[in-house]
Every structure is written in structure tokens, then in C-alpha cells.
């Protein structure tokens, strides 16, 4: 891994992250790991078949467009987030889908299972660049201390409780509503 980017995954910052990656890798990016559930393609297919609408996850409006933009230029996209589970009836429940998705994400955050999964995925696939949520990247940086780390730094006090601005090599301030 040559570059770790800790993002605030808001669509407003999508083009900034894309520009940064294209600047850092002007000859093209061989592989990019993103915070997309590793079973995303299966879940998307099942969900659209069962409910007739697009499958969404936290970060859907950020990571999937970023993946498509780089996939079009030949970059191998690695889905680096914990699988949500195709047999998880809670997540496929159309009525309570959004609530269940956020509760599952909260459980994964509290147990740090996402971070552990991402670190294992980095070790297995050795992506050239990794762009995942800022909360995950601080822990990843501790496991890979020599990687160049660029991070969004939210100006919002609540969000700042979860990040450590002493770890990144470069900070990019962002406004968080």
C-alpha cells in the first residue's frame, strides 16, 4: 500500500478524492481498496430482485461512484469492508431497512470488526491505494506506520472526538453539517 486516504464520505468531497488519487498516480492506479461491503454485488442483485430498487449502504453515494470512475480507467477495485451477509433477513427487510443498516453499522463500529477486516484485506490483496472512512484509517495507519496517510479532518466537534489529527502526514479540513 502506497497511499492511505481517510475520507469523510460525503458526496461533496468525491471529486476532491478522485483528483487527489489521479494526482498521486498520474500513470494510472493499479488497485484501489474502498469501504464497500465485500458482498456488495450479491446484495445489490438480491435486493433489486426482491424489492425492485437499488441496494444502499452507508457511503453508497460516495464509494460506488468512486469505484465506477476508477474501474472505467482499468483500476482493480477491491471491496474492503466487512460482508453484510446475504442471509441477513434484517438487512433485506424493506420496511426497516435503513434502521437495521445503521444498527448493524453501529455494532460493527463498536466491536472494531470493520477495522480488523480491512487490515486483513489489505494484507491479503496489497492494494496500491486505500480510501476508507476516517474513523478506520487511524487504526490502519497504526498497523502500517510507513504508509503515506492523507486525511480529511472534520471541523465539527462531535466528529472530531473519533479521529486523531496527529497520525496523518497531511490534513485536509472539511466542513461537516
C-alpha pair distances (Å), 104 with each of 9, 22, 99, 128 = 18, 33, 9, 29
- Name which residue leads in pLDDT, 46 or 76: 76
pLDDT grade, residue 151 (50/70/90)?
confident
Instruction: Average the pLDDT over 22-45 and give the result.
Output: 88
pLDDT at 39: 77
Angle at 40 between CA 38 and CA 45, to 5 degrees: 145
Instruction: Average the pLDDT over 162-175 and give the result.
Output: 65
Look at residue 25 and tell me whether its pLDDT is greater than 50: yes
Q: Count structural domains, the chain.
A: 1
Are residues 57 and 40 in contact, defined by beta-carbon separation less than 8 angstroms?
yes
Calculate the CA 60 to chain-centre distance: 9
Tens of pLDDT, residue by residue over 112-137, are 667 888 999 999 999 999 999 887 88
pLDDT grade, residue 98 (50/70/90)?
low
- Name which residue leads in pLDDT, 83 or 124: 124
* Parent domain of 36: 3-174
Instruction: Average the pLDDT over 95-115 and give the result.
Output: 64
Beta bridge partners of 5: 131, 150
Residue that is written with C-alpha cell 441496494 in the block = 55
Look at residue 10 and tell me whether its pLDDT is greater than 70: yes
- Name which residue leads in pLDDT, 21 or 50: 21
Q: What CATH number does the domain containing 35 carry?
A: 3.40.35
Look at residue 45 and tell me whether its pLDDT is greater than 60: yes
According to DSSP H, which parts of 3-112 are helical?
14-24, 40-51, 60-71, 89-92, 97-111
Mean pLDDT of the residues in the chain: 79
- Name which residue leads in pLDDT, 97 or 83: 83
Instruction: Average the pLDDT over 30-57 and give the result.
Output: 77
Amino acid at each position: 500500500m502506497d497511499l492511505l486516504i481517510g475520507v469523510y464520505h460525503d458526496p461533496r468531497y468525491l471529486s476532491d478524492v478522485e483528483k487527489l488519487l489521479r494526482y498521486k498516480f498520474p500513470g494510472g492506479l493499479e488497485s484501489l481498496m474502498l469501504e464497500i461491503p465485500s458482498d456488495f454485488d450479491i446484495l445489490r442483485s438480491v435486493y433489486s430482485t426482491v424489492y425492485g430498487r437499488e441496494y444502499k449502504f452507508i457511503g453508497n453515494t460516495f464509494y460506488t461512484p468512486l469505484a465506477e470512475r476508477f474501474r472505467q480507467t482499468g483500476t482493480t477495485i477491491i471491496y474492503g469492508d466487512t460482508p453484510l451477509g446475504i442471509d441477513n433477513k434484517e438487512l433485506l427487510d424493506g420496511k426497516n431497512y435503513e434502521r437495521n443498516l445503521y444498527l448493524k453499522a453501529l455494532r460493527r463500529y463498536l466491536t472494531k470488526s470493520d477495522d480488523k477486516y480491512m487490515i486483513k484485506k489489505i494484507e491479503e490483496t496489497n492494494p496500491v491505494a486505500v480510501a476508507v472512512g476516517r474513523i478506520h484509517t487511524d487504526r490502519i495507519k497504526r498497523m502500517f506506520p510507513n504508509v503515506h496517510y492523507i486525511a480529511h479532518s472534520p471541523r465539527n466537534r462531535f466528529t472530531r472526538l473519533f479521529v486523531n489529527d496527529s497520525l496523518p502526514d497531511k490534513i485536509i479540513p472539511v466542513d461537516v453539517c
